[in-house]
Structure 1
Amino acid sequence: MLFTCVSPAPHPAVRVVRLVFIALLLLLAGPASAQRCRNVTLLSHMNLYGSSGYSSCWSYVHSDGREYAFEFAQTGASVVRLTDPANPVEVAFFNLADSRWHEGRQYQHWFYITTEITTGRNFGGLTIIDMADPDHPHTVSSFHSNLYGAHTIELDTARGLLYAAGAAGASGQGLYIYSLADPTNPVLLTVYGNGFPDYIHTIHVDGLRGYASMGILGTVRILDLTDPAHPTTITEFGTPGGLTPGTTLSHGSTHSAWNSVDGRYLYVTDEVSGVGLYVYDLLNLSNIRQVYRYEGLPPRTVAHDPVIRGNLQFQAYYTAGARVYDVSNPAWPAEIGYYDTFPGRDGGFQGCWEAAPMFPSGIFIASDIETGLYVLRVNTNYGIVRGTVQQAPNGPVIVGAAVTQGAASTVSFSDGRYSIVVDPGSAVALTFSQFGYETLTKTLSVTPGSDQTFNASLRLKDAGTLSGVVQRGSDASPLSEAEIAVLGTPLRALTDANGAFTIASIPVGSYQVRCVRAGQVPRVLAATITKGSTTALSYFLASPLSYDDVEADRGWVLGDKFDDATTGLWVRGVPNGTIYIRTGEPIQPGRDHTPDPGAACFVTGNALVPSTNSLTDCVQGGQTTLTSPALHLGGFTDPRIGYWRWYANYFFEFTPDDPLVTQLSNDGGQTWVSVDSLYEPPSGWTYTELNVANTFAHPGDVFLRFIAQNRGDFGLVEAAIDDISSYSGSGIGAQAAPAAPVLANMTASMVGRPHPSPTHGPAGIDLALARTARVRADVFDVQGRLVRTIQDGTLTAGLHVLSWDGSIVGGSRGPAGSYWVRISSEGVTTSSRLVVLR
């Protein structure tokens, strides 16, 4: 079947190492998934050098058809026979200079390896392996007399030319171009470029053209290589993760490119979080156009090197594994499937470094930085459906619509287009859904190898409008900047200076609407939306038991005896914003959360002036702790603590693994209980509520503390806290003045829809209870099988969020597809559909 994943037992030589390593990864990753795949079969796996780590890999095909893999470890190159791909055999290991960057390419029966290391006398240079007898290869040359090292390598096998990019040698930095007329004695023809900033990170050569990814310049430079000793520039264009030529500020890195078989299109990656894969039309070199952007993965994933073989594109995607695309329509790739080599959370530069498909047998290999060599095969028994999703009858395109068929799923991208690879069949049912629209199901006949178009038109659901006003309960004065959220939906609003808000186009139905405002107790009211009418709500927000806007020193402790961070320590002050220059992502907030005239908050470190340098005073070297004064919660019903937090956790090298930890103590700080660990930060300031009774039956005086930390490799961690309050949750769902209906027992109208849906990871379901009740929440797959129980116990009255981390029984991450979340309490049961994308 199309979406069956087969994972045979690992190679005997590495079974124990692999299982132990994966087990450790799973322990470190917490609820993250085991390896997972779609439409790609794992034939075998080798991890012989996991203690040192890996980088690239590449294919070698002997003249008699035998196939081999070159897998590069930190200390050398492993040569692996793949004549039986289910049982790989290492035939040789060549020691190389210790480096993270080794790359290689085949020319006739030689294999050329570059290594990037130029410090001291331990030059990497160029190593040539003779593969005439591939089961007994040997080194014939290793020189660095004029090439000290190179970042990447490319070969023009038709003309016998070697290109060493990102290179340094006796002639300085640049692109070193060699003739292989004598394959064991390369002759330097020229050095193109002058190093920084004219740095070529990677070059792909096809015929007489070279596609040079210009690294820090943020451009692709197309070279005429008719005379390889004298390359000339044909044209140059900027990429989304880089910049337009002629500007002075680089905010990205144009990383790698590969052209389509017909040479008309160019596939480009920038190795920048959230930028992904782009396709450019090169038909008119004076007006190069972007025609496609892949948006089907979580925003923190990072695309690495694209490689094309025939009508398939192979893409290393770091923590998202090795991905495969059908490019028979080269301007509109369709993802066939993937094999995720990395079991942890997405984001950062771990996982799959390279995917190499140059094997006539149809297999391909992938190299994972931690776990080594994977031998894989793509299932090509599929059909493609593609088209545009738009509002019916002739409205705008719809962005983010979920498109599902069995286990296959995707979303419509920012231009409204989608493409999905599906199982062939005479009655293939595609489902199109998006919040606010009627769900559409279309049944199509799909034959193997077919590529058909279906444009989906979704009709808006009947809708109405929600409006209202938010006032202070004590004096009825208007409250600006109150946050209104229609729970279970993406709908949000802020009140204006008069305390008023309006949310239009809410689908007909019953909802719970939450109002949160700094310095006030949150409120949740029920609202029924009817077609074409306006429903009015009035919020009168009570004052909390305590409130700290952080504008003055109220006894918080900045630091702890166990702290060891060297920079980014907690301070109280007016925050100076920083951004990550490569993506524009804010790292430290540029203002506090408190409505004007508030200005201060707690923040980890603080640059002297607003800065584009995200490294300015961020958390480094350990942890830093912020501890509250005593919060007097004894004698109150359902005590709660609410606050706004900001958190940025961006790692250059590894998946973000240092959470913002929140802890509570009710014994004067002698012992602490962790109540929240935030790994994946939301965007901007977000409100968080702690139900203290869930931790302490008799709270008394409670202390609250936040631990921000950065213990891994180089990365960005910033945190901020503002507007901390304590209050009784007993009044959240009922309004004192003027009188309003108190929430009754849980009904279907009081259970929100899963959010986000579709989701690439966790999801939540908002639940409002009028009184304490036993609640059970189960997740079922489309076949009705119970895959996870996410709640089974008593919950107190008020607002709750039932969270599912995406894992199923056994701890592995559930596959893509549709799930149903069933919530039962006091004889009432509701079910909601949740779409999961992988």
Structure 2
Amino acid sequence: MLFTCVSPAPHPAVRVVRLVFIALLLLLAGPASAQRSRNVTLLSHMNLYSSSGYSSCWSYVHSDGREYAFEFAQTGASVVRLTDPANPVEVAFFNLADSRWHEGRQYQHWFYITTEITTGRNFGGLTIIDMADPDHPHTVSSFHSNLYGAHTIELDTARGLLYAAGAAGASGQGLYIYSLADPTNPVLLTVYGNGFPDYIHTIHVDGLRGYASMGILGTVRILDLTDPAHPTTITEFGTPGGLTPGTTLSHGSTHSAWNSVDGRYLYVTDEVSGVGLYVYDLLNLSNIRQVYRYEGLPPRTVAHDPVIRGNLQFQAYYTAGARVYDVSNPAWPAEIGYYDTFPGRDGGFQGCWEAAPMFPSGIFIASDIETGLYVLRVNTNYGIVRGTVQQAPNGPVIVGAAVTQGAASTVSFSDGRYSIVVDPGSAVALTFSQFGYETLTKTLSVTPGSDQTFNASLRLKDAGTLSGVVQRGSDASPLSEAEIAVLGTPLRALTDANGAFTIASIPVGSYQVRCVRAGQVPRVLAATITKGSTTALSYFLASPLSYDDVEADRGWVLGDKFDDATTGLWVRGVPNGTIYIRTGEPIQPGRDHTPDPGAACFVTGNALVPSTNSLTDCVQGGQTTLTSPALHLGGFTDPRIGYWRWYANYFFEFTPDDPLVTQLSNDGGQTWVSVDSLYEPPSGWTYTELNVANTFAHPGDVFLRFIAQNRGDFGLVEAAIDDISSYSGSGIGAQAAPAAPVLANMTASMVGRPHPSPTHGPAGIDLALARTARVRADVFDVQGRLVRTIQDGTLTAGLHVLSWDGSIVGGSRGPAGSYWVRISSEGVTTSSRLVVLR
């Protein structure tokens, strides 16, 4: 694990509470075998040191074939016998210096452990365990006379060499290379490199080559180790995660690498959110090419250490668990399955740290940072289907198409390619779908061990165009920068200076189209799209009851007596943008939301100048509160509050667990009701509407407040609020275009499509009700079993979003696959397909 940004470490008590909370989550989720998995079987689970937490793990195989696991807790190494993998037995525990980073490797009947620690020379170093009697192992050496500590370790067992990477010792920082000619007394041959910035984070050795992940440099350096006392550089190349996009600034992320069995391909991870796994072709070292990038997981997931054993790749993926890939085609891996050790939301550095497969029996182990050792076995009875998804006939590749077969699912990547592992069968039906295209189902015969190609061509649905103009209702003047959204689809547009918009290639059908613009009441109009035609919509937007563009002080309160954040307090001003140095994503907005000449917004902290340092004035150490003046909503029909918000929530250590909380009060702030908690925000400025009547039957004067918080973990939190308005949702005072019925005058209700679909997490279904009505919404799996009821009760007339968080009965997260959302109201039932990817 490599961090390039630092914020205050949590107090030890915070960590203990968090570990207890994780343990409670696991208990509530039921037995470990109930956690999410596909094609990977849990044989056993051991969690002996939950109070300290865990890091890496590795395999030990004795000369007589007995198998053992080394599981590293923060305070030492647990040795676990796996001769009966369903009933593991701890045979020893070796105390080590307290550290997050312990790594180990086997050489003959010895096991070598490195520890990284930064508090002086007397801790860390190298520990050697004698496993001659593996049920009674003992320490034979623990020295740090010339090696104070190391981040990672690698062994060349054929030549008896030990490589300690990210090391520090008497000879400075660098890659420490030792001879194991005397296994209990390693002899230092050389120290390669000079520490920062020439820092080697990990090295994988195969034969006479070393593949060094250079961390801070953002490169992989291939070394000639023919003479291990004098390594030389063969070549060096950069990885996509190694540079902040659009800059020459390295965010120090090239983390680890492992080569294919034939040595031609290199598998590289950068330990950066959304970057994932890359495969490089090393055939021509003067022209190393990227030939593959895995894009099948949510963008916040983080890949850790890849390990290759034969034709299988084992990948620790932090919150996405331990994942296994078929690399018989090494330039085009196919995911066989996974075991998710972490029950929470994806993102951050929790979950699976390491997957170690070096066991002849075919089992593998995984180490979870909170919950310890998992003993697993992968199911190898499968076939592979791979190919390209493109537009028919002979059109461009289609990115993000969902490819599903039962519980198996994937998407087409940015090059249009897909690969999917399926259960054998004579009639295996693969479904290919993407918004705007006709769904294709292909039935194939799949035999065990087969690897076949099917290129899917999807035909565009019949489509039309939507165009129109947005005007102010009071004077018919055009409104620029109004957002037009075709609800239930990914289609969006902004109006130009003349208030005009056009959205092309909308599949034929009936839609609800929402128009939102700062300082105006949003409107939803019905539109019917016909093939080859242009449908016209005209919006006349009314003025709201109140509107605050935040350009002046209108009585908002910055702070609260319960606030305890040390930095990143709410201020009003012109925002100065910051970025997350590891991905280039914006953390604090670079401008407000109000159309020009607007410039100011409420923002948490505000660096004096635009900065690439995302830690500059972000929320740290607690909460900060922003409270509105009274909003006078008494006597109005269907009162609503709308606003634009910006939220960034990146946690290096844990998944995002400090939401942006929105609260309402109608008693002068004596009591508050939470109406929204945002954990994982969309990118950019987004519009949010609160139906106040859902909280207060008789609201009167309402106060609105926002609480941004960061309770001390490694992370980044920034929030911004702009363009706050209150209005009547029934459209009082609005001047709707006479040719287009407004939502309040609709004679029938309308249901949108689930969005997003496919989804890696939650999804929503837009519902427009013409009148107050009872609505029931159920989610069913492909076998027709009810897995969740997401709505069962009365809803008022207007626009609603029915949300499913992805969980099923019992609270666990539903597996990947196809689901159907059935919505019933007033005797009418509609069903929509939703694809879930994991």
TM-score strictly above 0.5: yes
Counterpart Cα distance in 1 of 2:102 and 2:834: 43
Quote the sequence identity (%): 100
How far the C-alpha of 1:123 sits from its partner, in A, is 1.9
Counterpart Cα distance in 1 of 2:32 and 2:502: 39
CA-to-aligned-CA distance 1:521-556 (integer Å, 9 cap, x gap)? 000000000010100000000000000000000000
Contact 1:567 1:618 in 2 (8 A): yes
CA-to-aligned-CA distance 1:411-433 (integer Å, 9 cap, x gap)? 00000000000010000000000
CA-to-aligned-CA distance 1:769-794 (integer Å, 9 cap, x gap)? 12211111111111111111101111
Moved more, 701-710 or 110-119: 110-119
Contact 2:647 2:720 in 1 (8 A): yes
CA-to-aligned-CA distance 1:560-604 (integer Å, 9 cap, x gap)? 000000000000000000001110110000000000000000000
1:245–1:161: structure 2 CA closer, same or farther, 3 Å change rule?
farther
The residue aligned with 1:613 is 613
State the SS of the aligned residue for 2:730: helix
1:7–1:500: structure 2 CA closer, same or farther, 3 Å change rule?
closer
How far the C-alpha of 1:740 sits from its partner, in A, is 3.5
State the SS of the aligned residue for 2:15: helix
How far the C-alpha of 1:117 sits from its partner, in A, is 1.1
1:748–1:82: structure 2 CA closer, same or farther, 3 Å change rule?
farther
The residue aligned with 1:136 is 136
Contact 1:219 1:243 in 2 (8 A): no
Counterpart Cα distance in 2 of 1:18 and 1:605: 27
1:571–1:59: structure 2 CA closer, same or farther, 3 Å change rule?
same
Mapping for residues 554-703 of structure 1, pairs under 5 Å: 554-703=554-703
1:240–1:314: structure 2 CA closer, same or farther, 3 Å change rule?
same
Mapping for residues 47-196 of structure 1, pairs under 5 Å: 47-196=47-196
- C-alpha RMSD of matched pairs (Å): 4.9
Contact 1:218 1:244 in 2 (8 A): no
How far the C-alpha of 1:102 sits from its partner, in A, is 0.3
1:722–1:581: structure 2 CA closer, same or farther, 3 Å change rule?
same
How far the C-alpha of 1:9 sits from its partner, in A, is 35
Counterpart Cα distance in 1 of 2:474 and 2:326: 63
1:377–1:732: structure 2 CA closer, same or farther, 3 Å change rule?
farther
The residue aligned with 2:501 is 501
How far the C-alpha of 1:250 sits from its partner, in A, is 1.1
1:91–1:745: structure 2 CA closer, same or farther, 3 Å change rule?
farther
Counterpart Cα distance in 1 of 2:489 and 2:732: 20
Contact 2:524 2:743 in 1 (8 A): no
1:350–1:15: structure 2 CA closer, same or farther, 3 Å change rule?
closer
The residue aligned with 2:225 is 225
1:199–1:607: structure 2 CA closer, same or farther, 3 Å change rule?
same
1:178–1:247: structure 2 CA closer, same or farther, 3 Å change rule?
farther
Contact 2:350 2:370 in 1 (8 A): yes
Contact 2:22 2:370 in 1 (8 A): no
State the SS of the aligned residue for 1:744: helix
State the SS of the aligned residue for 1:103: strand
1:746–1:263: structure 2 CA closer, same or farther, 3 Å change rule?
farther
The residue aligned with 2:394 is 394
How far the C-alpha of 1:11 sits from its partner, in A, is 31
1:646–1:27: structure 2 CA closer, same or farther, 3 Å change rule?
farther
CA-to-aligned-CA distance 1:236-265 (integer Å, 9 cap, x gap)? 000011149999621231000000000000
How far the C-alpha of 1:339 sits from its partner, in A, is 0.3
State the SS of the aligned residue for 2:749: helix
How far the C-alpha of 1:395 sits from its partner, in A, is 0.3
Counterpart Cα distance in 1 of 2:810 and 2:409: 24
Counterpart Cα distance in 1 of 2:7 and 2:175: 41
Counterpart Cα distance in 1 of 2:282 and 2:749: 54
The residue aligned with 2:428 is 428
CA-to-aligned-CA distance 1:342-383 (integer Å, 9 cap, x gap)? 001000000000000000000000000000000000000000
1:17–1:750: structure 2 CA closer, same or farther, 3 Å change rule?
closer
1:635–1:812: structure 2 CA closer, same or farther, 3 Å change rule?
same
1:791–1:302: structure 2 CA closer, same or farther, 3 Å change rule?
same
How far the C-alpha of 1:609 sits from its partner, in A, is 0.3
Moved more, 235-244 or 400-409: 235-244
State the SS of the aligned residue for 1:753: strand
1:27–1:742: structure 2 CA closer, same or farther, 3 Å change rule?
farther
How far the C-alpha of 1:736 sits from its partner, in A, is 3.6
Counterpart Cα distance in 1 of 2:340 and 2:658: 22
1:206–1:13: structure 2 CA closer, same or farther, 3 Å change rule?
farther
Moved more, 793-802 or 376-385: 793-802
CA-to-aligned-CA distance 1:285-313 (integer Å, 9 cap, x gap)? 00000000000000000000000000000
Matched, 1:353 2:353: yes
1:7–1:521: structure 2 CA closer, same or farther, 3 Å change rule?
closer
Contact 1:258 1:266 in 2 (8 A): yes
1:814–1:207: structure 2 CA closer, same or farther, 3 Å change rule?
same
How far the C-alpha of 1:34 sits from its partner, in A, is 6.9
Counterpart Cα distance in 1 of 2:231 and 2:390: 47
Superposed structure 1 runs of 4+ greater than 4 Å apart: 1-23, 26-34, 244-248, 732-735, 742-749
State the SS of the aligned residue for 2:19: helix
Normalised TM-score (structure 1): 0.96
State the SS of the aligned residue for 2:44: strand
Contact 1:619 1:718 in 2 (8 A): yes
State the SS of the aligned residue for 1:33: helix
How far the C-alpha of 1:16 sits from its partner, in A, is 17
1:567–1:437: structure 2 CA closer, same or farther, 3 Å change rule?
same
Counterpart Cα distance in 2 of 1:230 and 1:516: 66
Figure out how many residues of one structure are paired with residues of the other and give that number. Answer: 838
Contact 1:68 1:79 in 2 (8 A): yes
1:32–1:241: structure 2 CA closer, same or farther, 3 Å change rule?
farther
1:413–1:800: structure 2 CA closer, same or farther, 3 Å change rule?
same
How far the C-alpha of 1:731 sits from its partner, in A, is 1.9
State the SS of the aligned residue for 2:34: coil
1:636–1:37: structure 2 CA closer, same or farther, 3 Å change rule?
same
Counterpart Cα distance in 2 of 1:3 and 1:253: 8
The residue aligned with 2:441 is 441
Counterpart Cα distance in 1 of 2:535 and 2:570: 44
Normalised TM-score (structure 2): 0.96
CA-to-aligned-CA distance 1:8-39 (integer Å, 9 cap, x gap)? 99999999999976552369999999721111
Counterpart Cα distance in 1 of 2:244 and 2:548: 46
How far the C-alpha of 1:437 sits from its partner, in A, is 0.3
1:616–1:113: structure 2 CA closer, same or farther, 3 Å change rule?
same
Moved more, 625-634 or 743-752: 743-752
1:684–1:26: structure 2 CA closer, same or farther, 3 Å change rule?
farther
How far the C-alpha of 1:737 sits from its partner, in A, is 4.8
Counterpart Cα distance in 2 of 1:488 and 1:722: 25
Contact 1:771 1:798 in 2 (8 A): yes
1:670–1:21: structure 2 CA closer, same or farther, 3 Å change rule?
closer
Counterpart Cα distance in 1 of 2:643 and 2:419: 42
1:14–1:68: structure 2 CA closer, same or farther, 3 Å change rule?
farther
Contact 2:473 2:735 in 1 (8 A): no
1:585–1:748: structure 2 CA closer, same or farther, 3 Å change rule?
farther
1:801–1:563: structure 2 CA closer, same or farther, 3 Å change rule?
same
CA-to-aligned-CA distance 1:779-812 (integer Å, 9 cap, x gap)? 1111111111101111111111000000011101
Contact 2:747 2:770 in 1 (8 A): no
1:295–1:15: structure 2 CA closer, same or farther, 3 Å change rule?
closer
How far the C-alpha of 1:714 sits from its partner, in A, is 1.8
1:247–1:528: structure 2 CA closer, same or farther, 3 Å change rule?
closer
State the SS of the aligned residue for 2:236: strand
Q: Unaligned stretches of 5+ in structure 2?
A: none
Contact 2:464 2:530 in 1 (8 A): yes
Contact 1:7 1:42 in 2 (8 A): no
1:30–1:449: structure 2 CA closer, same or farther, 3 Å change rule?
closer
CA-to-aligned-CA distance 1:211-242 (integer Å, 9 cap, x gap)? 00001000000000000000000000000111
CA-to-aligned-CA distance 1:184-233 (integer Å, 9 cap, x gap)? 00000000000000000000000000000001000000000000000000
Contact 2:245 2:584 in 1 (8 A): no
CA-to-aligned-CA distance 1:717-768 (integer Å, 9 cap, x gap)? 0000000000000129985454642548989972110000000000000111
Moved more, 773-782 or 360-369: 773-782
Counterpart Cα distance in 2 of 1:697 and 1:538: 33
Contact 1:403 1:410 in 2 (8 A): yes
Contact 2:538 2:740 in 1 (8 A): no
Contact 2:731 2:744 in 1 (8 A): no
How far the C-alpha of 1:279 sits from its partner, in A, is 0.1
Contact 2:71 2:367 in 1 (8 A): yes
Contact 1:615 1:716 in 2 (8 A): yes
